[in-house]
Structure 1
Amino acid sequence: MQLPICQEIELQLQGSVLHLTLNRPQARNAMNLALVQEVMSVFDAIAERRDIRAVVLRGSEGNFCAGGDIKDMASARQAYQQGQVDPLFELNRAFGRMITQVNNAPQVVITLLEGAVLGGGLGLACIADIAIADINAQFGLPETSLGLPPAQIAPFVVDRIGLTQARRLVLTGARFNGYEARELGLVHFVSDSPEKMDALLEQQLQQIRCCAPEANRITKALLLSVGKIEHEALLDQAAAQFSAAVMGEEGVEGTQAFVEKRAARWAQSA
């Protein structure tokens, strides 16, 4: 399936890696409904693309994402006052559907976090398989200071850093930098320069290329199923997947490459 043509985001496919850049620099890449829908259309298009093994999310011109676009909220409020059926609900839920879709993507999702990482931007950081932050990035959940709950974001924040820390951050609107984000377990790596961030990204991509794409897809789905499927049923499902993998193309190639002391085909062709 071809990648969609987008206005609010930029797409660049480099080999097996899709670079997706939020491109609303005039609003610090705050998310409006059009941007949310474009991100969803991209992840719809790549859901079955086994040739795309990683997606790198970042923002343009030094900011990752400043959250939701206040102008969109104001327009939805006006529409609600004019009698439309709760456009504010639909606006909010659209973001929730988008972040859930990105969370469940079969590809490895990497976020590069610079500048503003606020509200919904922090929510996106929370669903990254690998998150790399600039030390001076500004993280925060300012919703309650605006009289709003972080409605679609809160569950992902709790999953990422735990209830104790989530309560403090959400109920105070605290701001924090890349170092504290790493201490909280929100991000994995911290960079002190664009060059180091690029080097960290390439290091992670090289490691991903060494892993079989279908095995990664199955493994990610398994990890996301923990706590959502009954324990023994999940282990039964995992055993069936393991058996199929051993007999499958990747399992045969991987074990043969190991015996022959060579790189597997997916690593050679990356």
Structure 2
Amino acid sequence: MSGLPDCQTLLLELHGGVLHITLNRPDSRNAMSLQMVAELRAVLAAVRDDRTVRALVLSGAGGHFCAGGDIKDMASARAQGADAYRELNRAFGALLEEAQHTPQVLITVLQGAVLGGGFGLACVSDIAISDHKAQFGLPETSLGLIPAQIAPFVVQRIGLTETRRLALTAARFDGAEAQRLGLVHFVEQDAQALAERLDEVLQQVLRCAPEANAMTKKLLLASAGQPSSALLNEAAQWFSAAVTGDEGIEGTMAFMQKRKPRWVS
């Protein structure tokens, strides 16, 4: 087994060929900090070539999956200028690309907030299991921002038509609607049912040969077409322009001050 990195924002538990990865910043509803992005990428790199690790289970501590990007990181990037925003944004896109292509079967267990970056992570999972009360959404435009790195993966997951509606309204929706959209595969009524469904799915995955699964996943992704690195690079530039523009400044300030931005009457 490859050595797993030491992590401050993640809890790692490996047993029976399954690596359980828990996003562990419950005070911020597991908001995706730059450190968490780096640690997730390091974990994926550590297991990439290890076929004894058959599946990755990604979940969140404290009743939430992930509430999106960390506004505090964005505030610190402001002092460093536009390039810092672009790099911050692009690092998350790199995580999504690497999670999408990890040879292991990636399973997400979704509870509470599944917003922004959390929504993106759900979209790159092979199998998604949701609590019926989970709250999904793409809130970026309501903050004067754009879902720069996330959007191509959402379009690939649920199609352009529904993504346009969700991204341009910042609408929130529950697990049942997520299943209707094809974002998640299973919706369960409580924590016990979620755990039982996860056990069932893992039993199915472990019946499949690991190298055959890795190659099949590679084939399926190639067959479907991929969000390109060139597009994600350009999107990071657009994100930087948005977050440093008038709307981005007003939207993030309004969020931190717990008030409506000026474009909301």
TM-score by length of 2: 0.84
1:192 aligns with one of 189, 192, 197: 189
Cα displacement (A) at 1:79: 1.5
Instruction: Considering Cα pairs closer than 8 Å and 6+ residues apart, tell me whether 1 or 2 has the greater RCO.
Output: 2
CA deviation vs aligned residue, 1:142-194 (integer Å, no higher than 9, x gap): 00000000000000000000000000000000000000000000000001010
Q: What SS class does the counterpart of residue 211 from structure 1 fall into?
A: coil
Q: Which structure 1 residue ranges, 5 or more long, are not aligned?
A: 230-270
Aligned counterparts of 1:228 and 1:113: Cα–Cα separation in 2: 26
Q: What SS class does the counterpart of residue 97 from structure 1 fall into?
A: helix
Aligned counterparts of 1:209 and 1:20: Cα–Cα separation in 2: 18
1:122 aligns with one of 119, 122, 127: 119
Cα displacement (A) at 1:76: 0.3
Aligned to 2:80: 79
Aligned to 1:222: 219
| One-letter amino acid matched to 1:173 | A
Counterparts of residues 81-120 of structure 1 (less than 5 Å): 86-120=83-117
1:136 corresponds to 2:120: no
Cα displacement (A) at 1:227: 4.4
| One-letter amino acid matched to 1:224 | L
1:163 aligns with one of 146, 149, 160: 160
Cα displacement (A) at 1:78: 1.5
Runs of 4+ in structure 1 off by over 4 angstroms are: none
Percent sequence identity over aligned pairs? 60
| One-letter amino acid matched to 1:29 | N
1:62 corresponds to 2:63: yes
Change (3 A) 1:190 1:228: closer
| One-letter amino acid matched to 2:127 | I
Aligned counterparts of 1:174 and 1:156: Cα–Cα separation in 2: 18
Count of residue correspondences: 225
Aligned to 2:149: 152
1:201 corresponds to 2:198: yes
Aligned counterparts of 1:185 and 1:37: Cα–Cα separation in 2: 29
Q: What SS class does the counterpart of residue 86 from structure 1 fall into?
A: helix
Aligned counterparts of 2:165 and 2:175: Cα–Cα separation in 1: 17
- Superposition CA RMSD, Å: 1.0
| One-letter amino acid matched to 1:144 | T
| One-letter amino acid matched to 2:165 | R
Cα displacement (A) at 1:228: 3.9
| One-letter amino acid matched to 1:172 | T
Q: Which structure 2 residue ranges, 5 or more long, are not aligned?
A: 227-265
Change (3 A) 1:228 1:177: closer
Aligned to 2:20: 19
Aligned counterparts of 1:221 and 1:175: Cα–Cα separation in 2: 32
| One-letter amino acid matched to 1:150 | P
| One-letter amino acid matched to 1:3 | L
CA deviation vs aligned residue, 1:194-221 (integer Å, no higher than 9, x gap): 0000000000000011111110000000
1:176 corresponds to 2:176: no
